[in-house]
Structure 1
Amino acid sequence: MQLKFILPILAALVPFVVSTSVTRTTSLNCKSTEFEYKAKNCCLPIGGPKTVPTPPKDTECPPTSYYWEPKQGCCVPRNPPPANPPTPQCPKNWTWSSSLHRCTYTPATSTVSSHPSGVPGYGSHSKRTTHKARTSLCPAGLDACPVSSLTGDYECFDTATDLEACGGCPSLGKGQDCNKIEGAWNVGCEQGSCLVYSCAGGFRIGADGKTCISL
């Protein structure tokens, strides 16, 4: 008789034990300085590491919001992703691969960015060419930015739309690198001014539309 009463009790306890076991194994217990990145089931440092590892050959990470994580073998975000995040912005001629979690090289079909400036969620890495010792002038609409003061080489930038040289030549101490806006997720360069389209989790777009403010 006692056995008949014990068996139903044990049967009722099994789901509880299994549930508790699963909860313990899936809980990452991230530190206060970390956030849980569910896409890879790991803990990541808020803001990213002080020293960013270099991606392997033929691999790039979205410069605005991701960096290469050797342990995971993929690109991971610096901050918690926002709700329903847009596709990460990869460098020019690179395309985000959701399956590989990295940017893969895509040969350009033209010198103009495939994503027009002004479209939310996309920046523009537009026309850019490098010339030796100013043997020729930059095409109309492009600014000549020195690459090295020693060689005289220069690079042509469209400073009105280029994310890395937005508003002026970086080598001359002018303009802004939109990729370096803290807390930004997707950015753009419009008419020589950086704009923030979306911020990472824990940040909101500033009143000026050019910064991300910590919540």
Structure 2
Amino acid sequence: MNGKIGLIFNGVWSQYALATAPKYRDIYCLLYVHELSDLELDELDALVIPFQSHQAALCQQQQVLYNFLKSGRKVVVFGDSTPEWMDADWEDRPTNNYWWVEDPENPPISHTDFNHPVFQGLKPRHACWHIHGVYTRIPDEATVIQRNETGENITWQTNQYGGTLLASTLDPIVEHGIQQIRHLDHFVDSLTHWLCGIRPTGSFKLPAESYGVSLG
């Protein structure tokens, strides 16, 4: 299997775009959510479960995911989740896509622990953008990494399952894949380095020829 990080995939174009882009394709490999197995994940360093994942299918794959954690490796969950497979409660919140126009110095996240390896060295605007909800309950041994202005949990981490589970209501994979937020190289590259020890270089680009687009 090519790559060191498995990206759980259920057909969302932005997930595919990131994992197959020249910058990331030697590091990330797409894993179809309905076909996960312990054997398929055996050689991977980490798993990323992006926003817009198939939550019902993840519930069916719960044991595979926790077996991966039990082996001492890392799993990162972005966007929404469900307590049917992860021991935490997630609630929707309005998504503010306009804060950087109205008040660019007041992002939806008011506290970030910049000592965490994923966030270390990032500018505040690179560490947060909009959010898709909050965690109203997290595992007992979890540490909060980011909170919003009302103190609700945005990003947290726990090592209580053997490996490291990091969950966040941010959506870097999807937003980077569709290139809606153009500064996400900083976050995704930092995340990638933390997950597998490799820091990608260069800019994130989608080769037109890969999508049947003629440049002539």
**TM-score normalised over the length of structure 2:** 0.27
TM-score normalised to the size of structure 1? Answer: 0.27
Structure whose residues are more often helix by fraction:
2
